[in-house]
Amino acid sequence: MTMTMPQSLGLDAMATTAGRAVTAASGIEVTVGAIAPVPLDAAFGVAGTVAKQSTVVDGAQTAGLITIVPSSGLVSAEGSLDAAQLADALVQGAIAGVAQAGGPLLQFAGSEPLPPGADVTGEAFGFDLTAGARSITITWVVEATLGSLLGGSIPVDGPPGGPSVAPATLPELSRASAGGAQHDLSILSDVATNVTVEIARGSVRVRDLTTMTPGTVFELDRVAGDPVDILVNGMIVARGDIVVVGNQLGIEIAEIVEPKQ
């Protein structure tokens, strides 16, 4: 069965934050390679430790990330993680990456060994963790139900009569998630975000657009000299004034906008 996950899952962000979680847990500085899809059957051909890590959303347990790592784990002069610890650190970092990418707030619900021959439906992704002269290949298999939760839906291309996959039906997500470990969000401190400055808005009739020529002026909903809005990933976080720094434009922060509760 072939599946395509939406790009909104932010797999690169998941891998990056997972790498930082490994460093935080072991003290080993690691470099995260590019993440890329791998065939599901090839993923389970990797010799290593296979564990199914479940997650919780608003008190409801979901299917999890199945992590395949070499059984030797990751060892260096700075620290070490055995295979099980490495798998757990990776998933807890991935959970932070999901939140950073705009996905649901997940909680780590622990690991369990995956029995040989277990029937798993999902999509596999691989990337390398490099520490010094040593490189370890990591494989994630994101189970279909978790993929549906994260991305909203997963188009499925399978043979007639094969197993069907449907989006998971779960309670509405709230920030007051029940129980579970609290994760150190400092691992997200170096993650880049998109900052947008919005000067003003306005509405225009279609007939006005069709007659638009160079020099046409449209009225906006903001008075000259008013502060402009500063948005991070589409959310207003501050207001400020436009300034010139050298020969480039900049924004001088005038007000921090408190988040809505």
Distances (CA, A) of 159 to 103, 156, 171, 236: 30, 10, 31, 46
79 is a domain residue: yes
Same domain, 250 and 163: no
The two tokens of residue 234 are 């589409």
**What's the pLDDT at 151?**
59
Q: Which domain holds residue 246?
A: 195-256
**Residue 261 falls within a domain, yes or no?**
no
Amino acid at site 5: M
Residues 169, 200 share a domain: no
pLDDT at 242: 86
The total domain count for the chain is: 2
Same domain, yes or no: 154 and 238? no
Report if residue 228 sits inside a domain: yes
Q: Residue 112: give its domain's CATH number.
A: 3.40.1550
Return the sign of the alpha-carbon dihedral for residues 199, 200, 201, 206: negative
Domain-ending residue, one of 155, 188, 221: 188
| CATH number of the domain encompassing residue 224 | 2.30.330.10
* pTM for this entry: 0.52
Q: Give yes or no for residue 95 having a pLDDT over 70.
A: yes
Of the segments 14-18, 78-82, 132-136, 170-174, which one has the largest average pLDDT value? Answer: 14-18
Residue 232: φ, ψ to 5°: -115, 115
pLDDT at 162: 43
Verify that 161 and 246 share a domain, yes or no: no
Element (H, E) at 51: strand 49-57
**42 Cβ contact partners less than 8 Å away, ≥ 6 residues apart:** 124
Statement to judge: residues 45 and 155 lie in one domain: yes
Q: Using the predicted structure, report yes or no on whether residue 86 has a pLDDT greater than 80.
A: yes
